[in-house]
Structure 1
Amino acid sequence: MSASTSQLQALLPRESLLWIFAAQLAVLLPHTIHLPIWLLGAWAVAVYWRLEVFRGRREMPGRLVKLVAVALVVAGLVLTYRRWFALEPMVALLAVSFTLKNIELVSRRDALLSLMLAYFLAATLFVFEQTIPYALYGIVCVVIITAALVAQLGRRSARPGRALGLSVKLLAQAIPVMLVLFVVMPRLGPLWAVPQNTQAASTGISDSMSPGDFSELSKSDKPALRISFNGAVPPPEQRYWRGLVYTHFDGRRWSEPGAADGYPRWGRGRSNQRPFGDDGHGDSAERALPAVGPRYRYQVIQEASHNPWLFALARPHSETRGVRETGDDTLVYRTPVGSRLAYEVRSWPRDTVTDGVRLSASEQRRHLQLPASGNPRARAWARARFEEGLDGAAISQALLSLYNRSFTYTLKPPPLGRDTVDEFLFSTRQGFCEHFASSYVFTMRAAGVPARVVAGYQGGEWVEQQEYLLVRQYDAHAWAEIWLPERGWVRVDPTASVAPERIRDGLQSAAAEEFMQDAFLPLHKIAFVSRLRLQWDMVNYRWYQTVVSFDSQRQEGLLRRLMGEISPLRMAMFIGIPVLGALLLLLVWLKLSSRGPALPATSRLYLRFCQRMARAGLPRIPGETPGDYAHRIARELPRLGPMAARITAAYERAAYADDGLAEKQLRRLVRGFWPMRLSAQPRKPV
């Protein structure tokens, strides 16, 4: 057996085991957010068993015990996950193999394999999140894992200071290579796609709406969207970020078409949806959009919602891969949005685009659907307006006038009973945006006007320093659209008739006394904390723009700015010159380090004292002991004698008695010892 093989097969000492377990724990801890907690318990049991083996209280587990352990964890995975081909089960399976390795952790070969798995498991953290805290924690994990690798070299290397110090040095030397690879490595798409867990809790707007849903969202100030514009920015009253269209009403809840049958919008074929093309987005030829004229160009960075719908202004068109347009004037992604997603959008204001089409009979039925019974007073009011001969626009104006005269905007409306629309219109007359949108669409349909509810976000906070619009969860909003034959779909926001400040200035202005009233810590009322949170959001925005969303297009733009032209020769020079420089520095470092082992700190300090004495004109004679040298200094340079004696005494205690306090004293004395050149001063005869 070779020397390297015998070294790998050597039994693991206690320090090596502790470093391995520390690295494993650091990697597993953040995964407890996404993976079942019993995995951490299984890891603790495996570690306990291995430590008992080290103490000699147990034997290494045999084949039967290993089979039982494998069967138990596999059964746990089967009971935890219903669908195996998804992201969370795959990572959980990796964590299980990583955990079970501890019960057969015997040699250094096993240790190296376990630590390689730790690197891989640390990388899977960024499959779930790419935020700054995760990035910093990932760096900490890599430092600890590398220190655990260093600790496998021997007992001296396992000391915490030495292991961590060498780990930081190794990773610091790898930073230039990492930066070069980050810039020049081709940005390839995934070779395969593993879907995320669809059972994950969704955030934000759901695929249905009933009274009270949006008031719950108003209690959250978490970011939902960050939008940067290339050119004009729409005024506040035009910032309607539509995401879902509700057309089915069961008497209390509005939902998407097909949701009542158990089929979500993105999973059921509809004639007015555009299928994905070969490039992953919809075919814009199906939709007549002007090549010139008023429009908005912008990029949306959407937070994870675990839902497939995206948010954009009306008349959206996106060429981002995986994004498609629907006939309901919205955007959807090909999979649920499990992490931050950036997509480019162009939107045309509806006043500049003519639909040029009529509603089909099926579309009219869909947008006039109402339950067979319920809310008789609202139906009677709508029928009366219709019998008066009013058209759709006039009926809408009459209903909006009713809202403006008699209704109150509040985040805490009274509860509604069975006939929600009647009670709201003719009794309570207090509500939130979904109350107004729901009652408006119901009444317009009862009057024979096609109408639908639109859900999304409205408004947003303009961040001047970074020039982007920050939309939070409490900006969630619901409004209505009605079909007018001469104009097509027209947006109508009943909330604006009651509380125009909600549209113009945001929710905090419209409901100042009720805004975030139920928050456990009302941090929004503290100006300093609000500024800090906004600064942190700007840092996150810049992080995502610069690092996370550094795709092939941005990479190509950066390389063109650096090299002028992308060619094989220039790429080779761009990569080769830094690599050659790093190799030269490495050769110089090896040359300097080959001169001999590094001196202890106490010897280096005393050597510095001797060098300064030599510059003062009294060098140390080869073979002269420190004590003799101090006596000679006292005879020839009496002014320096006392200081030389103190330095020598501190050096001898630190070097020979291993006195830590003496080493600190020696460092302090040498730092302040700057003798004058006294070669011209007459010396006493020896």
Structure 2
Amino acid sequence: MARSKELLPRESLLWIFAAQFVALLPHFARLPLWIVCAWAFAIYWRLEVYRGRRDLPGRLVKLLAITLAVAGLALSYRRWFALEPMVALLAVSFTLKNLELVSRRDAFLSLLLAYFVAATLFVYEQTIPYAFYGVLCALVITAALAAQSGSFSARPRRALGLSAKLLVQAAPLMLLLFIVMPRLGPLWAVPQDASGARTGVSDSMAPGDFTRLSKSDSPVLRISFDGPVPPPEQRYWRGLVYSHFDGRRWSQGFSVDPRQGAEVEWNSRQQRLPEVGPRYRYQVIQEASNAPWLFAMARPLSDTRGVGETADDRLVKKTPVHSRFAYEVRTWPRETLTDAPVLGNAERRRNLQLPATGNARTRAWAAEQRAAGLGAEEISRRLLNFYNRSFVYTLNPPALGADSVDEFLFDSQQGFCEHFAGSYVFAMRAAGVPARVVAGYQGGEWVEQEAYLLVREYDAHAWAEIWVPGRGWQRVDPTAAVSPERIRDGLQSAAEEEFMQDALLPLHRISVFNQLRLQWDMINYRWYRAVISFDSDRQQNLLRRLLGEVSLARLALFVGAAIAAGLAGALLWLWFISRRTRPPVAIRLYQKFCQRMARAGMVRRPGEAPRDFARRVREEKPQLAEVTERITRAFEKAAYCEDPAAEQQLRRLLRRPLTRYRTRKV
């Protein structure tokens, strides 16, 4: 049994539950339902104990609860060393600890767990709303700690006020540490659930996939350029290459996907690139995708740590992109490269692969072109002219059957980008021309105020590449042959009537809403560049601007000066506050009179009113009664009636010492 001075104050119990609630609230959607229900039941039980209706559970009940919790975790999660089960373990710790909240030590341990749970929020998201919510969590948890002192400290205004003061006082030190502390990488990595990607471009493509992406306006990429900005028709942000077709769905195929053994060059392509500088230099901020592929223009090179280049001109990351990720890119247009392109036999076979049967009409058309002895570029030109004459670009294409390519090319002739790219590559392969589908994003909205390109989910796009002897892989976009405004002006302009037509509220058609949305994205962009992406390079650049040269001596001097300035500011503020809180002049003068009376043997009692004090002086010190009455009357007029003449009279009376009043009557 805990000693009485260590027992948990009853008034602080609700604060502990409030701290647990705010820390767990964002995780409720991720946690198994049984954990949320068990946590709520544990709180109910502890409140019943607080009311005296139940007893704390015994050892047997606690052992049973632990056994059930461990079994539930084992059944809910397939692997233990991952972020989700670790957060669940902390939530279970809350639940079990609530069954034995007795002492201050138990409360301190529970609130310490709450700080850890609140910190896990930033593993999932680093956005501004999450940052504000993290501050709220810190405020409530710190208030719960302050409430452990007892009934007065547990009052909401008192606890929250003390918590806010502590956080405000800690903010300058936090900012200083943010600037000067070395930006170390994580000491360990916790795997996250990669079952569902957040960006829509996946590792395979079938008719209708990209059509669904056109219904989302979520940001995907933010791209800032160091130098010239590519024109709209060159803004192709490639991320995946589909080389395998099973008759319905295009996929990366073996030896193309780096997760299945494809070769990746980690920052080693520099020696094979021309000495002439790249045409474009830019930084990409990519939203979480839970996948390793990154997005850049063709023939990219990145010096960002952990980013590599594949043989088919893509960028990949060693680990999946679980949160916003910034990487630097340099791009060389293919026509500027002098190395002679060679297509290996294995790559040729991979990019000529087709199912054994299916889509007979397309195969027959391709056979006619091949029999005519036409080259790759002439076959491509004829196919693009066919698209331009007869096809319609639409966000609502009809469904296709088993022979999807034949039905699209010769029957419906209505489709979205994946229909055009997939049918084009199929026809070119059937004609003996190596071809592949490329997926990523095309275009983007230029944000003039911050000078960056904003690429959204509905900018997802699929196009094609064909192999031309002597020139290598060349980009061909069949969609541009049908709807050139899609490439030049974006999806919203190309399909204005169909764009976001399923939205509950057509807010995209309201200019004010679009401006507000753009302003909010600019705020997020500044937040990420200034705070989230403040890595070691940015830190060194900032310290050089502040110190001139980054050395241990200058850094220590900077930290010392900042701490000294902070202490001086705190002392100045305390002095200013003390000056502002000084009592009025009349009260200070009366206090001076009371000090003189104390030296004369008449001590004013605590809480004794001036009139009562004067009555007691008349009884105990009659020789001082008259002056005490005069000073008391003058004080009451000066303090309560704000009479300047009474204040001046009080000053005159206090100029004469009390000894003069003892010898003669006034």
TM over 0.5: yes
Matched, 1:579 2:555: no
Which of 249, 253, 257 aligns to 1:257? It is: 253
Q: 1:476 aligns with which of 436, 460, 474?
A: 460
**Inter-CA distance 349–101: structure 2 relative to 1 (3 Å threshold):** same
Query: Does 2:429 align with 1:445?
Result: yes
The residue aligned with 1:146 is 142
Q: Which whole-Å CA distance do the structure 2 matches of 1:188 and 1:540 have between them?
A: 24
Aligned partner of residue 439 in structure 2, secondary structure: strand
Alignment match of 2:7 (pick from 8, 11, 15): 11
CA offset digits 1:218-276 (Å, max 9, x no partner): 00000010001111111000000000000111111111113xxxx98232113xx225x
The match for 2:415 among 427, 431, 436 is 431
Do 1:444 and 1:451's aligned partners in 2 also have CA atoms closer than 8 Å?
Answer: yes
Letter in 2 for 1:537: D
Contact 2:586–2:647 (8 Å) recurs in 1: no
Are 1:67 and 2:63 an aligned pair? yes
Return closer, same or farther for 1:264/1:116 CA change in 2, 3 Å cut-off.
Answer: farther
**Whole-Å Cα distance in 2 between the matches of residues 592 and 479 of structure 1?**
68
Relative distance call for 1:594 and 1:634 in structure 2 (3 A) is closer
Mapped contact 1:214–1:476 kept (Cα < 8 A): yes
- Confirm or deny: 8 A CA contact 2:610 2:632 kept in the other structure: no
Structure 2 match to 1:274: 264
Alignment match of 2:159 (pick from 148, 155, 163) = 163
1:39 equivalent to 2:40? Answer: no
**Residue type of the partner of 1:234?**
P
Could you tell me how far apart the structure 2 residues matched to 1:472 and 1:257 are? Answer: 27
1:505 to 489, 492, 506: 489
**Per the alignment, in what secondary structure is the counterpart of residue 264 of structure 2?**
coil
Matching of residues 279-678 of structure 1 within 5 Å: 281-284=266-269, 288-583=272-567, 607-608=583-584, 610=586, 625=609, 647=640
Of the structure 1 ranges 357-366 and 204-213, higher mean CA displacement relative to structure 2 is found in 357-366
Residue pair 2:303, 2:329 contacting (<8 A) in 1 also:
yes
Structure 1's 378 and 591: CA in aligned 2 closer, same or farther, altered over 3 A? Answer: closer
* Equivalent position of 1:278 in the other structure: none
Q: d(CA) in 2 for partners of 1:120 and 1:133?
A: 19
Q: Secondary structure at the match of 2:473?
A: strand
Deviation at 1:626, TM superposition (A): 5.6
Contact 1:49 1:103 in 2 (8 A): yes
Deviations 1:527-569 (Å, cap 9, x if unpaired)? 1111111100000000000000100111111111111111111
Asked whether the 8 Å contact 1:274–1:282 carries over to 2, the reply is no
Question: Aligned to 1:83, what secondary structure does the other structure show?
Answer: coil
Quote how far apart the aligned CAs of 1:62 are. 1.6
Q: Distance in 1 between matches of 2:342 and 2:244?
A: 20
Q: Would the aligned equivalents of 1:223 and 1:303 in 2 still touch at CA under 8 Å?
A: yes
Residue aligned with 1:157, SS: coil
TM-score (normalised: structure 2) = 0.88
Percent sequence identity over matched residues? 66
Q: What is the SS of the residue equivalent to 1:152?
A: helix
Paired with 2:513 and 2:35, the residues of 1 have a C-alpha distance of: 37
Question: Partner of 1:497: helix, strand, or coil?
Answer: helix
Residues 344-394 of structure 1 show CA distances to partners (whole Å, capped at 9, x for unaligned) of: 111111121245132111111100011111111111111111111210000
Comparing 454-463 and 288-297, the one that deviates more: 288-297
Using the TM superposition, give the Cα deviation of residue 627 of structure 1 relative to its aligned residue in structure 2, in angstroms: 6.2
1:34-92 deviations in Å (ceiling 9; x for gaps): 33233222211111111122222222212211111112122221121112121211222
Cα 1:336–1:33 shift into 2, 3 Å: farther
Shift of 1:119: 1.1
Assess if the C-alpha contact under 8 Å between 1:248 and 1:254 holds in 2: yes
- TM-score, scaled to structure 1: 0.86
Q: For 1:543, give the aligned amino acid.
A: W
Distance 2:643 2:73 in 1: 70
CA distances 1:577-615 after superposition (whole Å, capped 9, x unpaired) = 2223444566788999999xx99xxxx8xx43736999x
In structure 2, give the amino acid aligned to 1:106.
V
Picking from 25, 49, 56, the partner of 1:53 is: 49
Aligned length: 630
Q: Which moved more, 1:77-86 or 1:389-398?
A: 77-86
1:86 aligned residue (82, 85, 110) = 82
AA aligned to 2:259 is G
Partner of 2:108: 112
> Per-residue displacement from partner, 1:493-527 (whole Å, max 9, x unpaired)?
00001100000000000000000000112211111
For 1:180, the equivalent position in structure 2 comes to 176
Q: Superposition pairs for residues 89-238 of structure 1, below 5 Å?
A: 89-238=85-234
Q: Distance in 2 between matches of 1:636 and 1:148?
A: 49
- Mean alpha-carbon deviation: is it higher for 196-205 or for 149-158? 196-205
Asked if structure 1 preserves the Cα contact closer than 8 Å seen for 2:278 and 2:330, the reply is no
Rounded to whole Å, the distance in 2 between the matches of 1:503 and 1:568 is: 53
SS at match of 1:206: coil
8 Å Cα contact 1:383/1:447 also seen in 2: yes
Aligned-partner SS, 1:194: coil
**Partner AA of 2:135 in structure 1:** I
Computed over aligned residues only, the root mean square deviation of the Cα atoms, in angstroms, reads 3.2
> How many angstroms apart in 1 are the aligned matches of 2:247 and 2:477?
21
Structure 1 residue 678: deviation in Å? 8.3
Contact 1:311 1:456 in 2 (8 A): yes
For residues 315 and 156 of structure 1, do their structure 2 counterparts lie closer, same or farther at Cα, with a shift above 3 Å needed?
same
Paired with 2:577 and 2:532, the residues of 1 have a C-alpha distance of 39
Contact 1:355/1:488, CA 8 A, preserved across alignment: no
- Structure-1 separation of matches of 2:643 and 2:180: 51
User: Amino acid of the residue matched to residue 7 of structure 2?
Assistant: L
Letter in 2 for 1:284: R
Give the distance between the partners of 2:574 and 2:301, measured in 1 at CA. Answer: 58
Cα pair distance change 1:417/1:450, threshold 3 Å: same
1:440–1:494: 8 Å Cα contact kept in structure 2?
A: yes
> What letter is aligned with 1:265?
D
1:274 partner amino acid: V
SS of the aligned residue for 1:566 comes to: coil
AA aligned to 1:422 is D
Kindly tell me: are residues 450 and 677 of structure 1, through their superposed partners in 2, closer, same or farther at Cα, counting changes over 3 Å? farther
Q: Per the alignment, do residues 403 and 576 of structure 1 end up closer, same or farther by CA in structure 2, a change over 3 Å counting?
A: same
- Partners of 1:579 and 1:23 lie apart in 2 by 31
Q: 1:6 to 1:171 in 2, by over 3 A?
A: farther
Q: Distance in 2 between matches of 1:579 and 1:227?
A: 38
| Cα deviation, residue 30, structure 1 | 0.8
Amino acid at match of 1:156: F
Gap change, CA 1:674 and 1:214, over 3 Å in 2: farther
Q: Larger Rg: 1 or 2?
A: 2
- Alpha-carbon distance in 2 for matches of 1:359, 1:674: 101
Question: What amino acid sits opposite 2:531 in the alignment?
Answer: V
Structure 2 vs 1, CA of residues 106 and 505 (structure 1 numbering), >3 Å: closer, same or farther? same
Is the CA contact (8 Å cut-off) linking 1:367 and 1:450 kept in structure 2?
A: yes
Counterparts of 1:678 and 1:46, CA distance in 2? 64
Please say which of residues 551-560 and 71-80 is displaced more in the overlay: 71-80
**27-36 or 460-469: which moved more?**
27-36
Paired amino acid for 1:283 = S
Note the C-alpha offset of 1:633: 10
8 A Cα contact 1:28 1:40, kept in partner? no
